[in-house]
Amino acid sequence: MKNKDLVVNILRKKTHHFLTISLIVMVVSLSMFNFIFAYLADQYRSINKDYFNNSNVKVIHVEGKAEGSSSVGVQLQDENDINDLLLENGLSDKAKAYPIYILPTIFDDSLEKGYSMLGLSEELAFLVGDTCTLKDDSICIKETVEDHIDFKIPIIEEKDGGFSSNEVVDKRFIADEGAKNENAILIQSIPNNNQAYVNDKEAIKLLKTMYKDSSDSFEFIQQSQLDKMIVYVKDIKDVDSVGELLKKHQYYTSYTFSSFENFSVNIGSKQVILMILSIVFVITSIITAVLLMINFLRIQRKEIAILKLNGYDKKSIVKVYTKLQYNIFKLIFIITLLIYLIVYLLKLVPISIDLFLLIIGIDILVLLISLSFVYVLGIKKTSNMDMMELLKKDKEFD
């Protein structure tokens, strides 16, 4: 067989102008695809981060209920009532109601630092902070250097129509840190607030300790410390349906998307649209590359006829043109990635470098699929043509 690399170089030079134009078109096409794909991928990731993977937007606050022409605050029984309502409507596996308690302030061992206390289910610990556990005998605060913290628990006295405390009880908690000042439990942010969180069982124990001398029933005390109910929805796509169900049954609700009709459905639709657009751009890039290279092979029919006259068989011609196409696609790949890096470094377009490896993979996939189509529809088909067909269909021989 003749020197394949030498023949490839000769063929490349003989079609210099068309090949140059084709290279420019394919580089521009693939570069545009890279920039658009990077943008769409960033949008897709943002939607997941801000909505689908953001637990805060899946929380519905329930703070009361309408009863006839009047309204009442949230009641202890509402936890069971809401969960029964979810069960009746086939939503019990998608959402669940939890009580939130606000407790009187407790103090550190020195009595110099007070902590605002919230009690909630251990199942909601992730809403408070990534490192909070809310296990029994544990407390989660913003930051601590100790594994355990001793607290002074006030014993509440009812006096002259108010409350006071002249007695404290020592209580040691396992200390977790990482509680966020701004989270899905607290609607309003309180800067520099010493907020502490315990699970609901610990909250009940603390209330029993604090009000051990009270003449009121513990159910009354528990009700008085109940702040609200939180309904946590597992999937953002179900937030609208759960919210509408609660509103239908006269519950006063507050959640991120309550002012937007079918917002969660629209977010899901936007995600699907981004995926479809990405697929369309992939297909468009492949079609562009395939059509240009097949047209290049059409122009090359004269050269293929000459190769056959010089003793090249079909197998040898296929190898020569496969090598030529491979070199062309490799050059396009390198130039395109260099353009992406240059644009990123010069900050000409808001693209992300952490998508670079994904871009490399997608570009390789696009070019390999394109090369496969060119091989089947162009190289093999053209190399199988006989001499008369090659010469007859080439405009240079008309």
How many whole angstroms separate alpha carbon 194 and alpha carbon 198? 14
> pTM of the entire structure?
0.65
CA angle 152, 153, 157 (to 5 degrees): 130
Residues in the chain: 398
Asked whether 47 and 270 are in contact (CB, 8 A), the reply is yes
Look up residue 279 and give its amino acid: I
Total H helices, total E strands in the chain: 13, 10
- For 118, the 3-state DSSP assignment is strand
Stretches where the chain sits below pLDDT 70 are 1-16, 47-53, 160-162, 187-192, 257-268, 270-271, 392-398
H/E element, 386: none
Q: For helices 263-299 and 314-346, give the axis angle rounded to 10 degrees.
A: 130
Of all residues in the chain, what percent are helix, strand and coil, respectively (each to 5)?
A: 55, 20, 25
How many whole angstroms separate alpha carbon 240 and alpha carbon 182? 23
How many whole angstroms separate alpha carbon 28 and alpha carbon 31? 5
Asked whether 251 and 82 are in contact (CB, 8 A), the reply is yes
2: tokens are: 């003749």
177: tokens are: 């840190």
Bridge-based pairing state of the strands 59-67 and 70-73 = antiparallel
How many whole angstroms separate alpha carbon 310 and alpha carbon 308? 5
Q: How many CB atoms lie within 10 A of CB 23?
A: 15
Give the CA diameter of the chain.
Answer: 115
Phi/psi for 96 (5° steps) reads -155, 145
How many whole angstroms separate alpha carbon 96 and alpha carbon 324? 63
Domain ranges across the chain: 4-50+267-397, 95-233
Q: Is the dihedral of CA 176, 180, 183, 189 positive or negative?
A: positive
How many whole angstroms separate alpha carbon 58 and alpha carbon 126? 12
User: Closest Cα to residue 226, out of 58, 92, 77?
Assistant: 77
- For 196, the 3-state DSSP assignment is strand
306: tokens are: 């000459």
- Cα-trace Rg, the chain: 35
Asked whether 250 and 81 are in contact (CB, 8 A), the reply is no
- For 356, the 3-state DSSP assignment is helix
64: tokens are: 């009361």
**CA distances for 159 relative to 162, 164, 194, 213, 221, angstroms:** 5, 7, 27, 12, 16
